[in-house]
């Protein structure tokens, strides 16, 4: 019986993969997956997108209700109140902030507005950097970090003639933090060479003290990308922002589509920033659960887990009988979804990535893995 079900699922997955061939692969494609498998969204346990397992802050429903009457107007295209709150939260000036429809909008905007001659991506990395640069017609070079470096930058960065560099802090998908003194050195060298640095801090909220924001005033060529998606668990709302010198903010703002950030998203962002208790609980939960999941994965034979600082873990399958794709499929009958990380440039078919979730959910993942890998 189980085998039959499994067979059916494999066939369905083949169909899913065929349909998805032309779309950029990401984690979190749960609508499509649930539809294809004939399941409700709530029946899938999604470890493929790295979202705070606490869910969104409790004030969000109230914030939506309060802001709802305002949707008869166009949104404030300057996002002024949210920018003021962000400025207070980060100890910056509202003129150093540009809000976007998710940080992904701002990646595409940066690629278009900064008009680099050539860009360099420190890989493996979020695939939208490459797509955005391709869409803007910008040639791309790569500096590929290795397994021995835990897939993060450990030494000098060579821009290879690029005038825009994409680098993530913490690294994605490994979750490793760059050493602060190295990051300062990289930023300083790029600055001297006249190279812009887009530093992706989409996950830094989990370790806010590691943000480069305190150095922003010194580095007019650094743009810091931030997201509400991961830490505040609102990927469906689309809200992100850039922190940068006012000149860069004006340059990008001038080319941004009008009203891309809706009224409800702006209200939610303000509510998120108020809830310090939720922030502290989230950081404590992830610290504890990351350790639990890391130890649990370490107890399974043939898995090597990289030492992440945030809410996801990169895992290498050191066993010849499973590829990432095969393991992902084998977990589907358990209704557990993981990220096959083989399509990250610099990784291969032996890499998966899993989100850190709540204790019960992490246990379910470990049990499913134990069953499948035995």
Ligand X SMILES: Cc1ncc(COP(=O)(O)O)c(C=O)c1O
Residues near ligand X (CB under 6 A) are 102-104, 126, 168, 172, 200, 202, 227, 229, 235, 240
Q: Is 107 or 330 the residue whose CB approaches ligand X more closely?
A: 107
Q: Is 175 or 253 the residue whose CB approaches ligand X more closely?
A: 175
Q: Are 24 and 108 spatial neighbours (Cβ–Cβ below 8 Å)?
A: no
Q: Are 57 and 40 spatial neighbours (Cβ–Cβ below 8 Å)?
A: no
Q: Is 112 or 334 the residue whose CB approaches ligand X more closely?
A: 112
CB of 319 to ligand X, least distance (A): 27
DSSP category for residue 146: -
Alpha-carbon span 344 to 140, nearest angstrom = 15
Q: Is 103 or 248 the residue whose CB approaches ligand X more closely?
A: 103
Q: Is 103 or 211 the residue whose CB approaches ligand X more closely?
A: 103
Q: Is 116 or 240 the residue whose CB approaches ligand X more closely?
A: 240
CB of 7 to ligand X, least distance (A): 32
CB of 129 to ligand X, least distance (A): 8
CB of 73 to ligand X, least distance (A): 25
CB of 227 to ligand X, least distance (A): 3
Alpha-carbon span 219 to 161, nearest angstrom = 20
Alpha-carbon span 54 to 43, nearest angstrom = 18
Q: Is 131 or 270 the residue whose CB approaches ligand X more closely?
A: 131
CB of 204 to ligand X, least distance (A): 10
Q: Are 279 and 273 spatial neighbours (Cβ–Cβ below 8 Å)?
A: no
Three state DSSP letters for the chain: CHHHHHHHHHHHHHHHHHHHCCCCCCCCCHHHHHHHHCCCHHHCEECCCCCCCCCCCCCHHHHHHHHHHHHHCCCCCCCHHHHHHHHHHHCCCHHHEEEECCHHHHHHHHHHHCCCCCEEEEECCCHHHHHHHHHCCCCEEEEECCHHHCCCCCCCCCCCCCCEEEEECCCCCCCCCCCHHHHHHHHHHHHHCCCEEEEECCCHHHHHHHCHHHHHHHCCCEEEEEECCCCCCCCCCCCEEEECCHHHHHHHHCCCCCCCCCHHHHHHHHHHHHCHHHHHHHHHHHHHHHHHHHHHHHCCCCEEECCCCCCEEEEEECCCCCCHHHHHHHHHHHCEECEEHHHCECECCCEEEEECCCHHHHHHHHHHHHHHHC
Q: Is 60 or 202 the residue whose CB approaches ligand X more closely?
A: 202
Q: Is 143 or 229 the residue whose CB approaches ligand X more closely?
A: 229
Q: Is 9 or 311 the residue whose CB approaches ligand X more closely?
A: 311
CB of 6 to ligand X, least distance (A): 29
CB of 202 to ligand X, least distance (A): 3
CB of 44 to ligand X, least distance (A): 18
CB of 170 to ligand X, least distance (A): 9
């Amino acid at each position: 019986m189980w085998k039959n079900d499994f067979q059916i699922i494999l066939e369905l997955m083949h169909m899913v993969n065929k349909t998805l061939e032309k779309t950029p692969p990401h984690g979190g494609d749960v609508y499509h997956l649930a539809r294809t498998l004939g399941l409700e969204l709530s029946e899938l346990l999604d470890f493929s997108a790295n979202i705070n397992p606490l869910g969104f802050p409790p004030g969000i429903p109230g914030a939506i209700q309060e802001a709802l009457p305002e949707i008869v107007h166009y949104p404030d295209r300057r996002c002024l109140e949210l920018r003021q709150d962000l400025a207070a939260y980060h100890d910056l000036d509202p003129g150093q902030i540009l809000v976007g429809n998710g940080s992904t909008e701002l990646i595409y905007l940066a690629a278009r507005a900064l008009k680099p001659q050539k860009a360099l991506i420190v890989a493996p990395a979020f695939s939208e950097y490459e797509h955005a640069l391709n869409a803007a017609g910008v040639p791309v070079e790569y500096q590929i970090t290795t397994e021995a470096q835990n897939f993060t930058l450990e030494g000098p960065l060579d821009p290879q003639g690029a005038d825009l560099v994409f680098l993530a802090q913490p690294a994605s998908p490994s979750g490793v933090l760059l050493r602060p003194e190295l990051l300062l050195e990289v930023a300083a060298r790029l600055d001297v060479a006249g190279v812009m640095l887009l530093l992706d801090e989409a996950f830094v909220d989990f370790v806010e003290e590691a943000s480069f924001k305190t150095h922003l005033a010194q580095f007019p060529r650094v743009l810091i990308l931030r997201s509400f998606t991961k830490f505040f668990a609102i990927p469906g709302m689309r809200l992100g922002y850039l922190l940068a010198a006012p000149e860069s903010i004006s340059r990008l703002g001038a080319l941004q589509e009008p009203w891309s950030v809706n009224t409800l998203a702006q209200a939610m962002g303000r509510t998120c920033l108020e809830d310090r208790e939720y922030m502290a609980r989230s950081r404590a939960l992830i610290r504890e659960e990351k350790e639990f999941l890391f130890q649990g994965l370490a107890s399974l034979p043939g898995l090597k887990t990289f030492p992440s600082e945030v809410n996801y873990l990169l895992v290498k399958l050191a066993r010849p009988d499973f590829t990432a794709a095969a393991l992902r499929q084998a977990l589907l009958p358990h209704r557990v979804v993981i990220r096959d990380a083989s399509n990250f440039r610099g990784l291969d078919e032996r890499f998966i990535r899993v989100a850190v979730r709540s204790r019960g959910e992490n246990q379910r993942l470990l049990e499913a893995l134990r069953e499948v890998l035995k």
